[in-house]
Amino acid sequence: MATSDDTRCAILAYHKIGEPPHGTWQTWNYVPTDTFIAHLELLAGDGWQVISLDTLVAAMAGEATLPERSAVLTFDDGYQSMLTVAEPVLAKFGHPSVLFVPTEYVGGVNSFDTGSEPEEPICTWDELRELQRRGCAVQSHSAGHRSFDDLSLEDQVDEAVRSKQVMEEHLDHRIHSFSFPFGARGNEGDKLDTALQEAGYEAAFRYHGGVQMFSGADAFSLRRVPVGPDTDLRRQLGKEPK
């Protein structure tokens, strides 16, 4: 049986669950733990089934079928709070998740966000391996977290290839998915899609776009629903998908 033509994919894009570090400031990228729990309850109550990234990628290759309302929980940047705050909540619900990490910042801090976001530790390789053991798919968010809008095609490909190699060395699993830093796909269109495919990627994620129909989804430009503390998730999930 093939995945139904009516299948909708809600790929949610979070950054951080919980509170900012003491003495810093609140930003839209922090979703309070209670709000996050409410989101997961809303998904369950409205019939959205949380699927793993591997299931989504397999379905795009025609090797798996999806529930008619499929949700994927993604987190960008690899903050340590993924392990300490988000993962325990996900474990209670039994949900798989996806973490996109910029490899040059593993074990460091988010200096790509200086001034706009409080400084916070990014997971170490050990912590990323621990997350993998707990059902979190750790995948690429480039090497240097630079906007593809500012890079040549050659540099874009270098970011994708280098991060994949480093991650596969440290994590011992296949890197097949990429999320664009700042959601920026650059201006190379199909050329970039082809290069990502040649590098061994099967999926790439934007930051915006909303819920999408699975049948028309572009594997290298997958839409996501950015989620912040004030997001009306029911309204976002109820919008007519493209």
Q: How far is the CB of 145 from Zn ion (least distance, A)?
A: 6
Q: How far is the CB of 215 from Zn ion (least distance, A)?
A: 29
By Cβ distance, which residue is nearest to Zn ion?
76
189-198: long-range contacts, CB 8 A cutoff, minimum separation 24: 191/153, 192/148, 192/153, 192/156, 192/157, 192/220, 193/220, 193/221, 195/153, 195/156, 195/157, 195/160, 196/157, 196/160, 196/220
Return the residues of window 167-186 that contact Zn ion according to CB under 5 A.
181
- Out of 56, 66, 76, 110, which residue is the one contacting Zn ion (CB under 5 A)? 76
Q: Does 202 engage in binding with Zn ion (CB under 5 A)?
A: no
Q: Does 77 engage in binding with Zn ion (CB under 5 A)?
A: yes
Q: How far is the CB of 100 from Zn ion (least distance, A)?
A: 7
- Decide whether 49 or 80 has the Cβ nearer to Zn ion: 80
Q: How far is the CB of 81 from Zn ion (least distance, A)?
A: 14
Residue from 197, 188, 77 nearest 142 by CA: 77
Output the CA torsion sign for 24, 225, 162, 126.
Answer: positive
Q: How far is the CB of 115 from Zn ion (least distance, A)?
A: 15
Q: Does 117 engage in binding with Zn ion (CB under 5 A)?
A: no
104-107: long-range contacts, CB 8 A cutoff, minimum separation 24: 104/143, 104/144, 104/145, 105/77, 105/78, 105/145, 106/78, 106/170
- Decide whether 36 or 112 has the Cβ nearer to Zn ion: 112
- Decide whether 48 or 100 has the Cβ nearer to Zn ion: 100
Give the interface with Zn ion as residue ranges (CB under 5 A).
Answer: 76-77, 181
